[in-house]
Homo-oligomer: A and B are copies of this chain.
């Protein structure tokens, strides 16, 4: 029995399922655009083989780590999988706990890779752990499962990485110089140099100065350095920036206020929390101003308390699956930025949330009004069939489809990309089929919208044309 049913994620009523099938068949094989993600550009530069199944699937995936940890499996045990001697043992532990992922998107994404890439057709479990290990390991040794081969096999049109403002983008240069025709583009992510609470902020500013030849100890030089780095990213193919802030706060300080604040937050390693928040707020507005000037699309990911678990942070560092969302306000927070730049017709501000109560209350009304505002797809915990359905159900009636940005796979798990797009396209098809089935939309319109969501709206939102 195959792991995946061809009708998965389609509504069960035959009247609707038939429509969903038809819509999906129109978009299933369209090229994949991946305008926001976290793959490592060196993979494409070096085109080396991927490591063993544990290192490939388990250790870098915070969705998997958090679920196993939540059921009492110690992080120590899981981390032992990084040692090749213990890797298969940890894989068996994961396999024995695969039932924990029932009803989660992780299950759908993994089953897709297992079946489509490795031809597996029995469910992962304690009993099949070794079959999986061996089958996957064999495939990983072949050239078919190297990054560039997969890029082609996945029918990718473009993939964006996320890169520190301080990154020299040498992997991107290596890709371009290699003669390979894949399109791997960087994204300008300046958190490390705009957030005074970011680890090493003051050192980062010094590095920024050294990279750009600007005096980053002055507000003016600091801003000039950022303009320079953005220009460099754009030259290397970037079309967008990305900002991961705890809140959506923005500010319009006067030049004098901004200079004074800059001095305060750069004078110490422990700036006051309110100063740090106000500085981040001002910097979002500065970034918007620069976007208006240089045309880079601005992405805003807010509302997560990072590294919420101090015990794990102390022992294992960042990104252990212990980030927890918080209530998020957009309407008051974004007012300063939008008041100044929201009506710019060539500016793009793509908003993401982890707080679903904002969909119908704030985000859809903002996107349904401002020419600059576009809604990004459901993010992180909400990147799931139910999450995507709720997004469309809460957003479409106010913002329509044309103020949304298509899908982001948002992953560092390169192998999972087609599976993630598969879930997204099936869920779009399911949603559209429901509108057709109850005659809110004609079928020709639904087919057109499905195609738009899979390509043109992504290209337009991210200026990928």
Contacts and interface: CB of A to CB of B under 8 A. Distances in A.
Interface of A: 4-5, 7-16, 66-67, 69-72, 74, 99-105, 107-108, 123, 305, 308-312, 321-327, 329, 331-332, 335, 338-339, 342-343, 345, 354-357, 360-362, 364-371, 373, 381-382, 384-387, 390, 393-394, 396-403, 430, 434-435, 437-442, 445, 448-449
Contacts of A396: 103-104, 386
Contacts of A7: 438-439
B403 A369 contact: no
Contacts of A370: 70, 309
Contacts of A400: 67, 100-104
Contacts of A342: 309, 311
Contacts of A373: 70
B12 A434 contact: yes
Contacts of A390: 393
A442 B13 CA distance: 18
Contacts of A102: 400-401, 441, 445, 449
A377 to B, nearest CB: 15
Given A12-B438, A326-B332, A343-B312, A385 B397 contact: yes
B327 A308 contact: no
Q: Name, among A16, A71, A356, A440, the residue most crowded by chain B CB atoms within 10 Å (CB to CB).
A: A440
In order of increasing CB-CB distance, the 10 nearest A-B pairs are A5-B439, A8-B439, A12-B437, A384-B397, A103-B396, A357-B357, A13-B13, A72-B371, A66-B369, A72-B345
Contacts of A99: 402, 445, 448
Nearest to A452: B99
Given A104-B397, A312-B343, A397-B387, A123 B368 contact: no
Contact of A324 (B9, B305, B369): B369
A441 B5 CA distance: 10
Contacts of A343: 309, 311-312
A28 B384 CA distance: 31
Nearest to A346: B72
Given A327-B361, A397-B385, A12 B9 contact: no
Given A9-B439, A101-B400, A331-B324, A368 B66 contact: yes
A120 B119 CA distance: 54
Given A309-B339, A354-B361, 7 more contacts: A12-B15, A71-B402, A309-B342, A324-B362, A324-B366, A356-B357, A360-B382
A381 B365 contact: yes
B402 A381 contact: no
A323 B331 CA distance: 10
A440 B361 contact: no
B382 A386 contact: no
Given A13-B15, A70-B399, A357-B357, A365 B324 contact: yes
A100 B369 CA distance: 13
A385 B332 CA distance: 28
10 contacts: A12-B434, A66-B368, A70-B370, A72-B345, A74-B345, A324-B331, A356-B360, A356-B394, A385-B440, A386-B397
A343 B66 CA distance: 12
Contacts of A442: 123
A10 B435 CA distance: 10
Contacts of A72: 345, 371
A323 to B, nearest CB: 8
B9 A103 contact: no
A104 B13 CA distance: 24
A12 B12 contact: no
B345 A355 contact: no
Nearest to A312: B343
Contact of A387 (B8, B107, B360, B387): B360
A369 to B, nearest CB: 5
B331 A311 contact: no
A101 B403 CA distance: 11
B438 A10 contact: yes
A403 B70 contact: yes
Residue of A362, A365, A385 most packed against chain B (CB within 10 A): A365
A277 to B, nearest CB: 15
A157 to B, nearest CB: 24
B339 A67 contact: no
A405 to B, nearest CB: 13
